[in-house]
Structure 1
Amino acid sequence: MNYHSNVLETVQWFLEIDLKKDLETFMEKQMRRMNIPPSGTRSIMYEYFNTQKRVIFETPRKVVYSSKFQCPEEYQEALLQFEKNAREGKNLNVYLSDQIRKPEKADDLLNDWNIYHFHLTRRFRKDGFAKRSDYQIFAWVTADCIYMIQIYPHREAHLYAKKELLRIIEANWPELLEKHRIKGGLQLDDGGYEALRNAHVSSFAELGENRLYGLIGGGYMSDGSSMEAIRREQFWHNRLKLCEMVIRDNMSFISSVIHKQRDLKQSVYRFQLLWISDSADRIRLIEWNSHTGVEWFPVEGKLRIFTMEEELNFGGAFEGGTRFV
């Protein structure tokens, strides 16, 4: 977007800034590096956040088993290989459906209950993905642990809507569900949950008296889209637009500081996204014509203006966040 000063302002300036485009450019590059390019059917932001939710990033994880976990004898070697790969931080996405390569696609079980399902097999296709197996592993995955819930035959009735999955989690690792606990009541059997999920109707999971859980996996929209990905997309769309407004509304002040710091009398300013903190409470931009940085603190409502030399000389200047240039 381009903005310019009011003719009545003492300092005249012309501003070039499009932070959403900067972020989308970064996201597209990241997706292509993962060999999951944007489909072109949805916004890049949505597909990036949807991919982040679905893809299991490679890092060593602990593997813990529920007290109900059972594996058919003839699949023990396949299970041991899966566990070894998980502990060593190898690629587990090859055990998922190859739909993982399509960033616009949704995983209803993951969006509803935050549960992954893996093909239990030692046989793989030429493209690296697991061949369809007679059994599937159901697991809850975090950044440092895989909670192995249960193994079920592929032909099991209501396979992806079995409340037993949640009951096992509740009995073995109640802390995983606690933040999703709500008050109220709703009685549905597995078939009822399957019907609601097929219609993409977000619902609560009733496991017993005063044991009701909702939006465990973030939820989904009526078209099956990940509600979590949409919320994140809307958050960053709004936050970056607000950041642009703050820069635009404070350009007279920003330009005066740049003039003093750089002894420059420029009138054209070209800002680009530089860095965002992991907690999203700090956003840094770089102004290329003067090589000056501006940091916005949205919670505190403050701006910090600095020369890039000062920032680069400060150790750890870009730690705790994502750098874009």
Structure 2
Amino acid sequence: MKSLLNKFTTGENVNPYQGRGLTIRNDTSGLKKHARTDLLYADWNILHFHLSDEPIPSGRFFSKPADYLAFCLIGGNVAAVIDVLPHPDRAGFANTNLFATMADSWPRYIEQYELKGILGGNEGNKFSSSDISQLREAGITTFTEHNGKMYMGPGGGITSAGTSLQVVRSSDYLRDTADSLAKMVDDPQGQFRSHPIIQEISDPNFMLTLDPRGLSIREDKSQTHFAINRPKPGEEPTRLESMSDMLVPEWAINSFFK
């Protein structure tokens, strides 16, 4: 655990210590519906990390599976450890004790997901960890009861296709933003086509590209780049700034151009 905390503190890449399904078993066309996304993250916004100190084998991205996992909340510049537990079976990733510990430890965080006016308390209607696991795998999102209150999942839930609702919404947001950007680029009076260099080209060819500054619009014939601004600290990002950060966060740019 100390090794993982050191990595968080020093800003090292901790992705190799997540589950291999992060990139290996996330094909939404795959027959194993339950493997299309990290169901614990999609439902409760909880990530898990393998507690392994063994060096990652050469040529591999992921660490070896470990006997113990750290279950964490990650957001902004905060990594909050909920619990450290032996590697569970599939139902163990729906362990209701994880939700209870999260709610008790960070009540202000969980309060925003409370379903106001809906009371729990009926023991016969409570879902067990096994129930929640099976429903998740079927693409059904449930509400979670804790101390007589009902909560929606902080992760947003799972779609009937077995995918993360949060990811679907992000995908729709990016698609709509890219469509708006295409219309801006195609506008004869807009900032792109009215640029003096572009006006000299009879049939300009625009495309999205990546350079050391981040995401940008490039006119291919003239090699003219229009940088898309990065989000500014402490300010609400514009749609284009959000798109830039979602597609190519700062760490990805630094890694690609190092």
TM range (shorter): 0.5 to 0.7
In structure 1, list runs of 5 or more residues that go unmatched: 1-78, 276-282, 294-307, 312-316
Q: Equivalences for 1:56-95 in 2 at 5 Å? A: 79-95=1-17
Amino acid of the residue matched to residue 171 of structure 1?
Answer: D
Q: Which residue of 2 aligns with 1:272?
A: 207
**Aligned pair 1:213/2:151, yes or no?**
yes
CA distance in 2: counterparts of 1:139 and 1:263, whole angstroms? 49
Q: Which residue of 2 aligns with 1:120?
A: 51
Give SS of 1:158's match.
helix
Equivalent of 1:203 in 112, 126, 142: 142
Contact kept? 1:258, 1:292, Cα under 8 Å: no
Deviation at 1:176, TM superposition (A): 2.4
Amino acid of the residue matched to residue 172 of structure 2?
Answer: Q
Contact kept? 2:136, 2:158, Cα under 8 Å: no
CA distance in 1: counterparts of 2:80 and 2:70, whole angstroms? 10
In structure 2, list runs of 5 or more residues that go unmatched: 28-35, 232-240, 249-258
Q: Residues 84 and 244 (structure 1 numbering): CA distance in 2 closer, same or farther, change over 3 Å? A: closer
Contact kept? 1:181, 1:213, Cα under 8 Å: yes
CA distance in 2: counterparts of 1:269 and 1:153, whole angstroms? 58
Equivalent of 1:230 in 150, 168, 173: 168
**Aligned pair 1:178/2:178, yes or no?**
no
**Aligned pair 1:154/2:93, yes or no?**
no
Deviations 1:42-67 (A, max 9, x none): xxxxxxxxxxxxxxxxxxxxxxxxxx
Larger RCO (CA under 8 A, 6+ residues apart): 1
Deviations 1:246-298 (A, max 9, x none): 554x42x459x839x569565423333479xxxxxxx98555667888xxxxx
Q: Residues 262 and 146 (structure 1 numbering): CA distance in 2 closer, same or farther, change over 3 Å? A: closer
Give SS of 1:206's match.
strand
CA distance in 1: counterparts of 2:182 and 2:126, whole angstroms? 48
Amino acid of the residue matched to residue 194 of structure 2?
Answer: I
Contact kept? 1:124, 1:130, Cα under 8 Å: yes
Q: How much identity, in percent, do the aligned residues show?
A: 23
Structure 1-normalised TM-score?
Answer: 0.54
Deviation at 1:117, TM superposition (A): 1.6
CA distance in 2: counterparts of 1:246 and 1:180, whole angstroms? 37
Give SS of 1:269's match.
coil
CA distance in 1: counterparts of 2:143 and 2:202, whole angstroms? 56
CA distance in 2: counterparts of 1:243 and 1:149, whole angstroms? 40
Q: Which residue of 1 aligns with 2:66?
A: 133
CA distance in 1: counterparts of 2:70 and 2:129, whole angstroms? 18
Q: Equivalences for 1:312-323 in 2 at 5 Å? A: 318-320=229-231, 321=241, 322=244
Deviations 1:116-175 (A, max 9, x none): 122223335523633333322211112312111112223579311111111111111122
Q: Residues 128 and 267 (structure 1 numbering): CA distance in 2 closer, same or farther, change over 3 Å? A: closer
Task: Tell which deviates more after alignment, 138-147 or 186-195.
Answer: 186-195
Q: Residues 238 and 153 (structure 1 numbering): CA distance in 2 closer, same or farther, change over 3 Å? A: same
Deviations 1:206-248 (A, max 9, x none): 1132x22213113222232122222122222223223434554
Deviation at 1:93, TM superposition (A): 2.2
Contact kept? 1:119, 1:136, Cα under 8 Å: yes
Contact kept? 1:258, 1:290, Cα under 8 Å: no
Q: Which residue of 1 aligns with 2:40?
A: 109
Q: Which has the higher Rg, Structure 1 or Structure 2?
A: 1
CA distance in 2: counterparts of 1:144 and 1:287, whole angstroms? 36
Amino acid of the residue matched to residue 169 of structure 2?
Answer: R
Contact kept? 2:184, 2:190, Cα under 8 Å: no
CA distance in 2: counterparts of 1:187 and 1:193, whole angstroms? 10
